[in-house]
Amino acid sequence: MSAGGTAFDRALDLLGRSIVGGELPADHADTIEGLVEHTGASRSVVREVSRVLTSLGMLSAGRRVGLRVLAQEHWDVLDPLVIRWRLDGPEPQALIDELRALRLAIEPAAAAAAATRAGRRDRGATRELEEAAADLRDAADEPEAAAFLRADRALHAAVLDLSANTLFTRLRAVVDEGLQERALRERAELLPDPHDLALHLRVTEAILAGEPGSAASAMREIVERTSSAHP
C-alpha cells in the first residue's frame, strides 16, 4: 500500500504487516493507546483500523482484555489484504506455493465449466474474455511486459466469471493477487512467452467452442508453467 495513502490506509498497512511479520506476535496484548503510539495515527483512525483487523481475524477485542493479536489460523487468508501482507512477509514462498496449488485446483475446473456453458449464454457474456484475448495478442508484440500482464489478469478473471460458479468467482481476487505477485516478482522484466500466449488463446478458443476438456487441459498447463522451471 502506498505511503501516500490516507492515514487510515497507512495505519492499517503498518499494523497488518506488523502482525504478519511477527513484530506484533500472536497473543500480544495491546490497547488503542498502544497502537496509537505504534502507528502515530489518531485514536479514531486506530479504532477503525482495529475493527478492520478484527473482521480479518487478526485481532480480537474484549472489554476486559483489550486488543489481542490472533494466530494465523484465525486470519481470513482469502482476503486480498492478508494475501498481500503475507507475500511481503517473512515467508512469501510458502504463500506463493499455496496460491499456485489453489489455482491448479480451481482454474482448470473453472475453464471447463465456462466451456460447458458455452451454448447456454448470449454472445455478449463472453465479450470480456474475447477482449482480453485480443489484448494479449496485441500486447505480445509490445516491447514491455506490462500490457501483456494486465490482459493476462483480465483473461483469468473472465474465465472465473464465465464459470458461473459463485465460489470460483469469490476466489477471483485471490487468483488476481497471485497473478500480480508473479507479474511483479517473476516476469516484470521479461517479454511475453510465445507458448504462454498460445496457451491463453487455446483456453479462449476452447471455451468459445464449448470444449471443456481442451479448456481445462490448456489452463492446467498455464498454471503448471508458473513453477520455477518456467519463469
Domains of the chain: 7-74 (1.10.10.10), 91-224 (1.20.120.530)
Instruction: Fill in the amino acid letter for 17.
Output: R
What pLDDT does residue 186 have? 58
Cell numbers standing for residue 26: 500472536
Helix, strand or coil, per DSSP, at residue 207: helix
* Chain mean position to CA 221: 19
Q: Are 140 and 194 within 8 A, CB to CB?
A: yes
What pLDDT does residue 184 have? 60
Angle between helices 92-116 and 146-162 (to 10 degrees): 50
Q: What is the pLDDT along the chain (231 residues), one digit of tens a residue?
A: 444 589 999 999 999 999 999 999 999 999 999 999 999 999 999 999 999 999 999 999 987 778 999 999 999 999 999 999 999 999 888 898 899 999 999 999 999 999 999 877 766 789 999 999 999 999 888 766 788 888 999 999 999 999 999 999 989 999 988 888 766 665 556 677 889 999 999 999 999 999 999 999 999 999 998 764 443
Looking up cell 496484548 gives: 29
Q: Which of 220, 193, 192, 194 is CA-nearest to residue 206?
A: 220
Whole-structure pTM value: 0.83
